[in-house]
A and B are shown apart, each in its own frame.
Chain A
Amino acid sequence: MAYSDKVIEHYENPKNVGTLDKEDPNVGTGLVGAPACGDVMRLQLKISDEGVIQDAKFKTFGCGSAIASSSLVTEWVKGKTVDEAATITNKEIAKELSLPPVKIHCSVLAEDAIKAAIEDFKKKKAARGK
């Protein structure tokens, strides 16, 4: 299968690989996918009390397109508010990376990862508020 230049660029020079402290109350962690399906993404967002995404880190087990999708969204979400980040769709990710139809699920997973990370952050915040 031929990869698009953008997939190759992200795959070879992935942005924001790493781990944030998941115990930090300002860090939301999203872990989506399954090893049995061949892809797992972990996206972590550090979110200010005002709801702005200050940092994003990812780790991904998956094919080149999955790695590129995660790398791309870490770049996209930084500086955005939580609400803005939540509007990112898999279609935009797939379009930016020119993913072929068989790789669309990688972009879906990346969208899910953003949502899951925000969800986790909100849960933590709510728990703190109590």
Chain B
Amino acid sequence: MKLPIYMDNHATTPLDPRVLDAMMPYLKEDFGNAASRNHVFGWKAEAAVEAARKQVALLIGADPKEIVFTSGATESDNLAIKGVIDFYRGKGDHIVTLKTEHKAVLDSCKRLERARQERIDELKVLRLGELAGRDVTVEEIPTLEIKHDLENDAQFQRWVSKVQAGARVTYLDVKKDGMVDLEQLKAAITDKTVLVSIMLANNEIGTVQPVNEIGAICRERGVLFHCDAVQGLGKVPFDVTASKADLVSITAHKMYGPKGVGALYVRRKPRVRIAPIIDGGGHERGMRSGTLNVASIVGFGKAAELARAEMPEEARKLEKLRGRLLDGLKKKLDMLVVNGSWEHRLPGNLNVSFAYVEGEALMMAIKDVAVSSGSACTSASLEPSYVLRACGVDEDMAHSSIRFGLGRFNTEEEVDYVIDLMARSVSRLRDMSPLYEMAKEGIDLKSIAWTAH
């Protein structure tokens, strides 16, 4: 067994050697531009891209013409959300999504909200200027809008109804196990809703959403369904026909392919339209300009083919390894809590809070093992994981969480090593933890007036 051990397969996965083999010729002699129509270099590249397009399409049961290659799922999420809002503006401008979505989805939504708010503020300045009979600044809005009762100003409200910028967004809570509440989803869809964006599987707690039910609701209500399927593909069954998904984000590097390449599935029947966010040579049927990254696309195709072929067996293996990991940890440690649904979960995901131990300190102790933590100390924002918080996990338990992401290349031997190392490290840190001592003495930690800082 080699150290360090990689158990962070939700962050990225290693390149499968078979994928690298498939890519190599396109990094060397077959370097052509797939858009070169007049010589053999171009034809070879184009043929390779089209073969990969088929492989990716097959993984999700799509037609190859429905696959748009991108630089990865961040771009795919941006393109789906901003592209739909831009194209369907005449129909509506409301999006429904989950609080536990990936930042690529949430921050795209936030930018659209901001764009709409900025436009409204401009209109407020104009209208308040008219009403006050003088120039008005943005800073004056809060006081003046009350004074002039903008909320009931017919002229202003007429203007707002014509705003053609950004979007309105509803961020749905999830249940304690991380699952979407389908009744809440139904209730959130209005006649202005054009898009529902809900992921297949969560990148922190591995929760697998009921995408087929979500798709059925969206189809019935006449709204588009975007699904960020990044974490679930090749791990759990997913199909664009069963899920009725209209747009699907995919990335290669979470399924043993290269980084920097992904795709957006865009449904053709019934036809879904998006406005591009990158302008240029009109590649990918005008939806995504830019010279195709041929070698990476070939690798992506190969990775998709392998994921499809090996999923059933690999899922069984991962589930077994994960069971071994949890059982082993439970045998050696008390007071650990699994975060997220156990039943609806990616086979390789285990997210556990080790009570009374801080996540970053724990990661420091197991520095030969690569995992992640929801602790604030490991994030740039100094806030503990927003996903765990959305599931109602207490902040202290969020700080104590570790995410294990098992993957294709992990072994039983590695799992056993990790169990042992975790048990020793958690015990050592608990011996150092005042909270553990207090809990053992029967003190209710919630009864203490802590000095928040």
Contacts and interface: CB of A to CB of B under 8 A. Distances in A.
A84 to B, nearest CB: 24
Contact of A61 (B378, B434, B452): B434
Interface residues of A, number: 32
Interface in B357-380: 357-358, 360-361, 364, 375-378
B384 A32 contact: no
A71 B170 CA distance: 47
B38 interface: no
Contacts of B396: 35-36, 38
Contacts of B437: 19, 59
Interface stretch (A48-56, A72-80, A101-109, A117-125): A101-109
Contacts of A102: 382
Name the residue among A3, A19, A33 with the largest chain B CB count within 10 angstroms: A33
Given A11-B364, A14-B432, A61 B356 contact: yes
Contact of A34 (B358, B431, B451): B451
A72 B395 CA distance: 27
Contacts of A67: 361, 432
B361 A63 contact: yes
Contacts of B356: 61
B435 A109 contact: no
Name the residue among B395, B432, B434 with the largest chain A CB count within 10 angstroms: B434
B364 A64 contact: yes
Interface residues of B, number: 29
Majority SS at the chain A contact face = mixed
A86 interface: no
Contacts of B435: 35, 40, 61
Interface in B340-367: 356-358, 360-361, 364
Given A63-B358, A63-B361, A34 B432 contact: no
Interface string A81-115: 00000000000000000000010010011001000
A67 B357 CA distance: 11
A60 interface: yes
Contacts of A31: 434, 448
Contact of B451 (A1, A33, A62): A33
B445 interface: yes
Contacts of B259: none
Interface string B375-399: 1111000101000000000111001
A27 interface: no
A36 B452 contact: yes
Interface in B401-453: 431-437, 445, 448, 450-453
B394 A62 contact: no
Given A31-B434, A60-B433, A63-B375, A39 B358 contact: yes
Nearest to B377: A63
A35 B445 contact: yes
A108 B445 contact: no
B380 to A, nearest CB: 8
B449 to A, nearest CB: 9
Contact of B453 (A34, A42, A61): A34
A66 B384 CA distance: 17
B384 A38 contact: yes
A41 B431 CA distance: 13
B453 A17 contact: no
A37 interface: yes
Interface in A1-52: 1, 3, 8, 11, 14, 17, 19, 31-42
Contact of B361 (A19, A37, A64, A109): A64
Name the residue among A63, A102, A112 with the largest chain B CB count within 10 angstroms: A63
Name the residue among A19, A33, A40, A67 with the largest chain B CB count within 10 angstroms: A40
B22 to A, nearest CB: 36
B165 to A, nearest CB: 36
Closest 3 CB pairs of A and B: A35-B396, A34-B450, A36-B395
Given A19-B437, A61-B436, A64-B361, 8 more contacts: A32-B453, A33-B451, A59-B437, A63-B358, A64-B360, A66-B358, A67-B361, A109-B453
19 contacts: A34-B451, A34-B452, A34-B453, A35-B396, A35-B399, A36-B394, A36-B395, A36-B396, A37-B376, A38-B375, A40-B450, A61-B356, A61-B436, A62-B358, A64-B360, A66-B361, A67-B432, A109-B453, A112-B453
